[in-house]
């Protein structure tokens, strides 16, 4: 992330959040979503389309059981590193479905290509939902024929709704900035609420931009940003079979081509980082049954990697998560989480704070008001800060509390 740190104050000030923006805000992108009948009464099939083939990059789950759609998308991107459309269904993950599942994913790609009259290699395929069930291809076929993409906010919302499973809200964000004298826009959307403990990304995330950047540098940029954003969230410690982050850059902003040496390349990286971090935090906040978003910041570590590792261990601890849910300022659970990590920690120099309340100073307990702590922990955003006093590096992670509703939701997921 050192390139990002080189962004100057003037460059950073040009990055603007577009509150009502979405995946169709960048020039040349359209979307659609319909109810194809895969779910009982909600939209369940969507598409994002670029006017022209877009330079593309993606990162996928590290699970040994990668779903069939991932293999098809990987093949599509490998063909020419260009994607013009991504078709997504919910309700069925098309994972662990053998040769038939793979054939269905290829068929889904071909049906979308025929509908849009583009090359099949320009279509990416993504699925989410129940593992081990086959796609209802007759409904996929009929649903694709219903998709009429456009660039209105309603069409973006329809796509975002179509990709949800146990999510309670749609996740989206949009930013713009000046790059080489042109306005470049980046929009993103994601779905994810449970089975969130990525070793790459999250459940599903799709990012569109009109920036002019080639696929190789786009891939390098995405791989650079993932470790500090999507890889730093956890809801329940489980990594999905379908996790994907896909970025499409169609170049229609007509900025001069971005290279590592381009003076505005750090601005692009900052745009990508802000987009990924925003979506990651929205997923963590919407964890199944969650009532609170937890942010853990670790400082004073020997390396950024170790700081991120410790932060994620804390936010992923079921004991920490349940304590936050119960508004119990039990800092001993934070210490326990730190102690489990394979990192260099001096057990005599650790500070812990919850909000502005100091619980531990140089590994010595500090007196604090239980009433004040409970009042803070009753809020919907909880910040835990740890200073190891063992170096200069920092790292963050995000997660949520663990409530009774998480068990209820997952005990009846298939019904």
The pLDDT of 195-221, averaged and rounded, is 81
- Percentage of the chain modeled with pLDDT above 70: 91
Output the pLDDT for position 201: 35
Confidence of residue 9 (pLDDT cuts 50, 70, 90): low
Going along the chain from its start, the domains and CATH numbers come out as: 2-285 (3.60.70.12), 293-411 (3.10.20.340)
**Residue corresponding to tokens 């002019």:** 212
Both tokens of residue 41? Answer: 């009464």
User: Which DSSP state fits 252?
Assistant: T
pTM: 0.88
Contacts with 55 (C-beta within 8 Å, 6 or more apart), sequence order: 81, 82, 213, 214, 215, 218, 248, 249, 250, 251
The pLDDT of 232-260, averaged and rounded, is 88
| Degrees to nearest 5, angle at CA 231 with 190 and 29 | 30
Q: What are the residue ranges of helices labelled H in 209-347?
A: 215-225, 265-285, 304-316, 318-325, 331-340
Segment 316-320 long-range contacts (CB within 8 Å, at least 24 positions apart): 316/197, 316/234, 316/237, 316/397, 316/399, 318/402, 320/294, 320/384
The pLDDT of 363-392, averaged and rounded, is 97
Spatial CA neighbour of 60 closest among 70, 75, 45 = 70
Both tokens of residue 323? Answer: 């304590």
pLDDT tens per residue across span 302-343: 999 999 999 999 999 999 999 999 999 999 999 999 999 989
**CA of residue 204 relative to chain centroid, distance:** 7
pLDDT tens per residue across span 334-374: 999 999 998 999 999 999 999 999 999 999 999 999 999 99
Q: For the sheet containing 364-365, what is the strand order? A: 233-234, 393-400, 293-301, 381-387, 351-354, 357-361, 364-365
pLDDT tens per residue across span 150-202: 999 999 999 999 999 878 889 999 999 999 999 999 999 999 864 445 543 34
On average, the pLDDT of the chain sits at 92
Both tokens of residue 201? Answer: 């990304």
Q: Is 175 helix (H, G, I), strand (E, B) or coil?
A: strand
Active-site residue identified among 202, 234, 241, 275: 202
More confident residue, 111 or 284: 111
Output the pLDDT for position 203: 66
The pLDDT of 83-105, averaged and rounded, is 96
- Percentage of the chain modeled with pLDDT above 90: 80
Output the pLDDT for position 5: 46
| Degrees to nearest 5, angle at CA 115 with 111 and 121 | 60
Confidence of residue 404 (pLDDT cuts 50, 70, 90): confident
Contact assessment for residue 209 and residue 185, using Cβ atoms and an 8 Å cutoff: yes
Of the CA atoms within 13 Å of residue 375, those in its CB half-sphere come to 7
Query: Is 183 in the active site?
Result: no
pLDDT tens per residue across span 11-66: 556 899 999 999 999 999 999 999 999 998 999 999 999 999 999 999 998 888 89
More confident residue, 405 or 93: 93
């Amino acid at each position: 992330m050192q390139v990002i740190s080189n962004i100057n104050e003037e460059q950073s000030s040009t990055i603007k959040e577009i509150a009502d923006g979405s995946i169709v805000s960048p020039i040349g992108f359209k979307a659609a979503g319909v109810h194809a009948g895969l779910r009982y009464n909600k939209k369940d099939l969507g598409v994002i389309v670029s006017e022209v083939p877009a330079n593309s990059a993606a990162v996928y789950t590290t699970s040994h059981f990668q779903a069939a759609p991932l293999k098809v998308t990987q093949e599509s991107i490998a063909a020419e590193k260009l994607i013009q459309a991504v078709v997504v269904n919910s309700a069925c993950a098309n994972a662990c479905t053998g040769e038939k599942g793979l054939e269905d994913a290829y068929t889904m790609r071909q049906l979308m290509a025929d509908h849009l009259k583009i090359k099949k290699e320009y279509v990416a395929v993504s699925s989410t939902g129940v593992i081990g069930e086959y796609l209802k291809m007759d409904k996929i076929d009929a649903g694709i024929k219903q998709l009429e993409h456009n660039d209105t906010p309603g069409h973006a919302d329809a796509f975002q709704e179509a990709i949800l499973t146990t999510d309670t809200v749609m996740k989206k964000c949009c930013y713009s900035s000046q790059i080489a004298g042109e306005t470049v826009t980046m929009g993103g959307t994601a779905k994810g609420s449970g089975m969130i403990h990525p070793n790459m990304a999250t459940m599903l995330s799709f990012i569109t931009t009109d920036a002019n950047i080639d696929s190789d540098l786009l891939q390098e940029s995405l791989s650079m940003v993932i470790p500090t954003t999507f890889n730093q969230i956890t809801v329940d410690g489980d990594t999905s079979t379908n996790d994907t982050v896909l970025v499409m850059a169609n170049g229609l902003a007509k900025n001069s081509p971005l290279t590592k040496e381009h003076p505005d390349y750090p601005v692009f990286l900052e745009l990508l980082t802000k987009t990924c971090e925003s979506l990651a935090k929205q997923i963590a906040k919407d964890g199944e049954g969650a009532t609170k978003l937890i942010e853990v910041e670790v400082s004073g570590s020997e390396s950024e990697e170790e700081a991120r590792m410790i932060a994620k261990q804390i936010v992923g601890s079921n004991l920490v998560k349940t304590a936050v849910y119960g508004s119990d300022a039990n800092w001993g659970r934070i210490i326990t989480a730190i102690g489990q990590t394979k990192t260099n920690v001096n057990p005599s120099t650790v500070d812990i704070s919850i909000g502005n309340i100091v619980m531990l100073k140089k590994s010595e307990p500090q007196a604090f008001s239980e009433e004040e702590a409970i009042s803070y922990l009753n809020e919907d955003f909880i910040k835990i800060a740890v200073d190891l006093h063992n170096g200069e590096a920092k790292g963050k992670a995000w997660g949520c509390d663990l409530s009774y509703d998480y068990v209820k939701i997952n005990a009846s997921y298939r019904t």
